[in-house]
Structure 1
Amino acid sequence: MQVVIFIGFIVFAVAFATIIQQRFLKRISVNYIAMAIGAAIALVPQTNSLIESFSSELFMGLIVAPLLFFEGQRTRLYNVLRSWRAIVGLTVIMIILATITAGFGIYFTMGLSTTGFYSSCNFNANRCYSNRICNTWIEAA
């Protein structure tokens, strides 16, 4: 039931933002108005218990997938084929940058290194001497 209420809040916010933008604030993008309405809904404490907690699967399925589908429908194939090298190049560069950033982020926040992690864990004896993450790793195995 919370998912239905959550979707209802989103549909209400989008419809209300569209009406406000078309009637009163034609120079402001509807996205900014929708963000303001969403922030106003989030500030009301009673709505926080009604709205589903954030679920990435729900967000991807209900929000991102339809947006990508309709954006793909509007994009002309000629424009994509004309700039496919730039698209692929940017994609590869962004994947490499995201991987490096995630690796360094995990390294600095958790203090992991390959030599320290494996040297502190004794997987055969199911013991861990100094690494908290090792206990979780052993219990999962």
Structure 2
Amino acid sequence: MSSIASLYLLREPDVRTLAESGHAPDDLELRDAFHWSGYFMLYLLLFLEEEQDVPVSRSRYDEVLPDPADGLRFVLTAEHQAHLPRLDVATFDQAAFDDYLDAMGGSFEESPIAVEETLTLLRDQVAALRDDQALVIEIG
């Protein structure tokens, strides 16, 4: 079984379109931004929330954007910029994350490389968000 993670950079009107149609506009997908398994993204986001106190499963769009029927959706906004220090590769606790992966049954040999690339992607995207933008991560 496999899973993919798709990332979209949306503005406020695009979020409403996503809420109404259930689909983000294809032209707003950050193509080729993430090359790892969707499961890896999921485990990293859950670790950030559960172990690093980064509220990745909560945003101001929770009321209008439920999870899609065939997966999960995380919405990061400019409010998440307060947590940028926890997305820093230099201070990330790789050993704790590897233990977390093992406990979840998701051991991943290339975890250090994937963590570096994924945290850098998330940090750069969240840091650049304006107040009217959202980084939407769909895993399915």
Greater fraction helix? 1
Report if TM-score (shorter chain) is over 0.5.
no
TM-score (norm 2): 0.25
Bigger fraction of residues in strand: 2
Higher relative contact order (CA 8 A, sep 6+): 2
Larger radius of gyration: 1
